[in-house]
Structure 1
Amino acid sequence: MVEVRSMADLVAGLGIIRESPADLGTIELIVRRPETNKREVLDRAELDLDRGLVGDNWLVRGSRATQDGSAHPGMQLNLMNARVIELIAGPRENWPLAGDQFYVDLDLSADNLPPGSRLSLGDAMIEVTDIPHLGCRKFIDRFGLDAAKFVNSEEGKLLNLRGINAKVIKPGCVNTGGIIEKL
Structure 2
Amino acid sequence: MAILVDKDTRIIVQGITGGQGTFHAGAMLKYGTKIVAGVTPGKSGEQIHGIPVFDSVREAKNAQDATASIIFVPAAFAGDAALEAIAADLDPIVLITEHVPVKDEIRLIAEAKRKGITVIGPNTPGIITPGARQKVGIMPGHVFTAGEVGLMSRSGTLTYEIAAGMTNAGIGISTA
Bigger proportion of residues as strand: 1
Q: TM-score range by the shorter chain?
A: under 0.3
Bigger proportion of residues as helix: 2
Q: TM-score, with normalisation over the residues of structure 2?
A: 0.25
Q: TM-score, with normalisation over the residues of structure 1?
A: 0.25
